[in-house]
Amino acid sequence: VQTWFRQDDIRFTQRGHLGDALRHYESGARLQLNQVEKCVPELEAYTRCLERDLALPSGSVSTTVVASTLPAWAEPHFDSYPAFTVHLRGTKRWFIGPEVCRATLDSFVLGHDDFGLRRFFDGQLPDGMPDDALVVDVAPGSVLYMPSGVLHAVQSHEHSFSIAFDLIVPRWSDLVVRRLTEHLQRSARWRGFALGLGETATESQRQDARRELDSLLSELPAALAEVVSDPDEILLGALPRLMPPPRRRYRLGKEATIRMVAPEGRDDEGIHVHVDHPVAGASEIEITPELAPFCRWLLEGGRSFSETDALHASRGALQSNVRQLMLAFLETGGLEAVAPGADASRPATSEGAEE
């Protein structure tokens, strides 16, 4: 739980025990839980649905729950990603200002993070919420879309509760930088600690740092050329982040009708799986021959399974291909995540015991 509160006019953010958080809540703190879908798998149906409707990559919608009461106040800030907030209980007043920062990499609270913020600003930093800010009152059932970089603040009037669907979609710059970093990290010099920075460094340490950086930068064009020469690797780098969290269990979608179609006795061509789901609609997944045995295992099994079980059952097929197939099944409703404890038939494994 992340707790936001003020004491003696100083703003605090802390992560901690639920008991502490509730104590702060009673005196007006705002509580925030991120990535709630990791502990509430039922939310996954909603995140997948939103991803599908908005044509976003699977795994890029995450959920944040906020509980706040009078006089909780989310100070003027902007976020680095857009979000849909669904208001569930109580009422709140949102103040919405202009788009202040189009190119931000981080979320910023005005008046607190100005050092970092200045890197994205050419002109004058806004002082706070402007007088002509748009005022929006939300009640249960209200949905508010907040783009990234738009200044906003939120005031709670009473006990209130909302869930935000954060669209944390990888950007092209993220993919390329990630791949370039992977590439550079292979070199001992590039993965060396960047020392000689900051207030405590001596003049000679600073000069050493500058020399080291100049020397590394002279190697950068060659490294970049190598990364650019293999665009597929750049795309593959996004997959692990987009997979649903590990140590989750899955089962065939209860409401889905699934049919595997393969030419008689042949696994070498034309294998398709048709999935029909009341929400996701009808989909067709093409299966490569190496994944056919795994796919049969998937369709035969009546019980839930973990990702490890799936990799085991896939008999040496490429892990990334198995994950991609599971992702396709999740997207089409052919697979669904299982709520912890919901599947009484599942075997007691050490992995299951952790949930």
- Minimum CB separation from Fe ion for residue 155, in Å? 13
Q: What does R_g of the chain's alpha carbons equal in angstroms?
A: 25
Q: Where are the alpha helices (DSSP H) in the chain?
A: 18-26, 43-54, 114-117, 172-184, 203-228, 231-236, 239-242, 292-300, 307-313, 319-332, 350-353
Cβ contact 146:154 at 8 Å: no
Please give the full DSSP string across 40-106, using - where no structure is assigned.
-TTHHHHHHHHHHHHTPPTT-EEEEEEEE-TT-EEEEEE-SS-EEEEEEES-EEEEEEEE--SS-SS
Q: How many residues bind Fe ion, per CB under 5 A?
A: 1
Q: Which is nearer to Fe ion, 150 or 176 (CB)?
A: 150
Beta bridge partners of 30: 4
Q: Which is nearer to Fe ion, 93 or 303 (CB)?
A: 93
- Minimum CB separation from Fe ion for residue 113, in Å? 13
Query: Interaction with Fe ion in 72-111: which residues (CB under 5 A)?
Result: 79
Cβ contact 227:237 at 8 Å: no
Q: Which is nearer to Fe ion, 79 or 309 (CB)?
A: 79
Using DSSP's 3-state secondary structure scheme, residue 266 falls into coil
- Minimum CB separation from Fe ion for residue 263, in Å? 53
Q: Which is nearer to Fe ion, 44 or 79 (CB)?
A: 79
- Minimum CB separation from Fe ion for residue 63, in Å? 14
Residue nearest to Fe ion (CB): 79
Alpha carbon 269 to chain centroid, angstroms:
36
- Minimum CB separation from Fe ion for residue 52, in Å? 25
Other beta carbons within 10 Å of 102: 10
Could you tell me which of 29, 32, 37 has the C-alpha nearest to residue 58? 37
Q: Which is nearer to Fe ion, 37 or 166 (CB)?
A: 166
How far is it, in rounded angstroms, from Cα 53 to Cα 51? 6
- Minimum CB separation from Fe ion for residue 75, in Å? 10
166 belongs to the binding site for Fe ion (CB under 5 A): no
Q: Which is nearer to Fe ion, 97 or 196 (CB)?
A: 97
- Minimum CB separation from Fe ion for residue 21, in Å? 19
- Minimum CB separation from Fe ion for residue 77, in Å? 6
Structure tokens belonging to residue 125? 């930093």
Structure tokens belonging to residue 277? 């789901």
Other beta carbons within 10 Å of 62: 19
Q: Which is nearer to Fe ion, 79 or 331 (CB)?
A: 79
- Minimum CB separation from Fe ion for residue 150, in Å? 9
Q: Which is nearer to Fe ion, 129 or 201 (CB)?
A: 129
Alpha carbon 117 to chain centroid, angstroms:
23
Q: Which is nearer to Fe ion, 44 or 166 (CB)?
A: 166
Q: Which residues lie below 8 Å from residue 139, measured CB to CB, with a gap of 6+?
A: 87, 91
Cβ contact 143:86 at 8 Å: yes
Contact residues: Fe ion, CB under 5 A: 79
